[in-house]
Amino acid sequence: MAKTVIIGGSIMGSSIAYHMAMAGHAGDIVVIEPDPSYEWAAAPRSSGGVRLMHGLPENIEMSRYGQEVYKDFARLMDVDGEPGRFDFKEYGYLSMVAGAENVAIVEGNCRVQNAQGVPNVVLDAAALAKRFPSFNVQGIDAALHAPGDGFIDPHAAVIGFRRKAISLGVEYIQGKVVGFDANDTKVERVVLESGRRLDADRVVNVAGAWGPALCNMVGMKVPVEPLQRETFYFETRAELEDMPLTKDVDGVSFRQEGAGYTAGFTRKDKPSGFNWDIEPDLFDKIIWPSLANRVPKFESLKLMRSWCGHYALNHMDGNTIIGPWVGGLENFYVATGFSGAGLQKGPAIGRAMTELLLHGEYQTLDLSRMSYQRVIDNEPLVETGFTA
């Protein structure tokens, strides 16, 4: 029987599967995912941050639904009748800025967030030093503080959605999509690496940073490319107060993780494409000096390990592209371009895609401005809020 074929079973694919199943349509979809361990997927390699620190109301509302779902995740994803543990670590987010122009941007974003009912505040350097005594606040003019934001275990989030979707009857096929059979208007079949061909009523491409290559196979051009981002885990014996996920003025960010901290740095000037090598000296030459400058107790840290993952970076405007391929094959859908904010949007994208597939329109949160139409029109929808 022809079905909706979901390509990629990580946070987006499994959230769509969960929402379709909860709407009573588990039998109408199939999820294709090559790797049930999700070793290379971006989601488990992410920082796990869930924040309402955006400048666009759609992004605030998507992350708000993300927070609601993740705060209640153990109960919602319960399969055996005994919810396991899933923590939403509400340590907050902090975005530091310098210079009048950047102060004006965070103040503007804070006003949008407050108007959406989000109780974020802009702190000046003195208030920041008082709130977090471990910071050296030199060179900082203001910081947007989001006390209700936090982070989760991203691998557990993927597995939670997947496990629940399967328990509700969704079929996952272990395989890799390598092509499509299409006529002039529609995709008819999805071709797997094994040679198997699956009839498809509709196709939803949520293959993360691998998604643009799949779009290319049917001739759809998306302004999205893989961008490598490294993460470093370190520990220190020094005692510090609980810290929010903090982004410094130079782009270096860090947050608490278990007995230590993770730190990262997004270099948008890096060549795009998949690259699994950690840049030599990046930690020693850029990240550590920055950390030690901002938190002098980090002078004595010990680097324990590092890894990298890939953003699906939308280089047009850094924002989500969701919906059918406007002007192209009518049953080919995408959700891509999440850059550094897809984990928190996963629940909302699952809900939104389910609404599109079942009703042909959004029913809760209107994401029309994020359709492919703006790519055709070359009209960027720029997000001025926190970008990781």
Ligand X SMILES: Cc1cc2nc3c(=O)[nH]c(=O)nc-3n(C[C@H](O)[C@H](O)[C@H](O)COP(=O)(O)OP(=O)(O)OC[C@H]3O[C@@H](n4cnc5c(N)ncnc54)[C@H](O)[C@@H]3O)c2cc1C
Measured CA distances, 225 to 177, 210, 307, 325 (Å): 18, 8, 19, 18
DSSP annotation string for 178-238 = EEEEE-SS-EEEEEETTS-EEEEEEEEE--GGGHHHHHHHHT---SEEEEEEEEEEEE-SS
Q: Does 206 bind ligand X (CB under 6 A)?
A: yes
Single residue of 32, 204, 321, 329 touching ligand X by CB under 6 A: 32
- Dihedrals φ, ψ of 231, to 5°? -130, 140
The contact pattern for ligand X, residues 292-331, with x = CB under 6 A and - = no contact, is -----------------xxx--------------------
Looking at residues 88 to 107 of the shown chain, list those that interact with ligand X (rule: CB under 6 A).
none
The contact pattern for ligand X, residues 214-253, with x = CB under 6 A and - = no contact, is x--------------x-x----------------------
Q: Does 383 bind ligand X (CB under 6 A)?
A: no
Which residues partner with 234 through β-bridges? 261, 303
Single residue of 25, 28, 29, 47 touching ligand X by CB under 6 A: 47
Position with the least CB separation from ligand X: 342
Query: Min. distance of Cβ 37 from ligand X in angstroms?
Result: 9
Give whichever of 137 and 203 is closer to ligand X, judged by the CB atom.
203
Query: Min. distance of Cβ 333 from ligand X in angstroms?
Result: 13
Q: Give CA–CA dist 128/98, Å, rounded.
A: 13
Query: Min. distance of Cβ 143 from ligand X in angstroms?
Result: 18
Query: Min. distance of Cβ 296 from ligand X in angstroms?
Result: 25
**Nearest alpha-carbon partner for 210 in 341, 326, 43, 51:** 43
Q: Give CA–CA dist 7/137, Å, rounded.
A: 46
Q: Does 71 bind ligand X (CB under 6 A)?
A: no
Q: Does 210 bind ligand X (CB under 6 A)?
A: yes
Q: Does 42 bind ligand X (CB under 6 A)?
A: yes
Q: Where are the beta strands (DSSP E) in the chain?
A: 3-7, 29-33, 49-50, 93-97, 121-124, 142-146, 150-151, 171-174, 177-182, 187-192, 197-205, 224-235, 245-247, 252-257, 260-265, 302-314, 321-324, 332-336
Give whichever of 136 and 216 is closer to ligand X, judged by the CB atom.
216
Task: Give Dmax over CA atoms of the chain in angstroms.
Answer: 64
Q: Give CA–CA dist 130/111, Å, rounded.
A: 23
Give whichever of 38 and 132 is closer to ligand X, judged by the CB atom.
38
Q: Does 62 bind ligand X (CB under 6 A)?
A: no
Q: Give CA–CA dist 52/66, Å, rounded.
A: 9
Give whichever of 17 and 76 is closer to ligand X, judged by the CB atom.
17
Q: Does 55 bind ligand X (CB under 6 A)?
A: no
Would you say 337 and 246 are in contact if contact means Cβ atoms under 8 Å apart? no
Kindly indicate which of the ranges 10-18, 135-143, 321-329, 373-381 contains the residues binding ligand X, using the contact rule CB under 6 A: 10-18
Which residues partner with 311 through β-bridges? 227
Query: Min. distance of Cβ 126 from ligand X in angstroms?
Result: 29
Query: Min. distance of Cβ 257 from ligand X in angstroms?
Result: 11
Measured CA distances, 97 to 69, 144, 146, 264, 282 (Å): 30, 8, 14, 17, 22
Q: Does 197 bind ligand X (CB under 6 A)?
A: no
Q: Does 64 bind ligand X (CB under 6 A)?
A: no
Q: And the tokens for 337?
A: 């371009």
List residues binding ligand X (CB under 6 A): 7-13, 32-35, 38, 41-43, 45-49, 176-177, 206-210, 214, 229, 231, 264, 309-311, 338, 340-344, 388
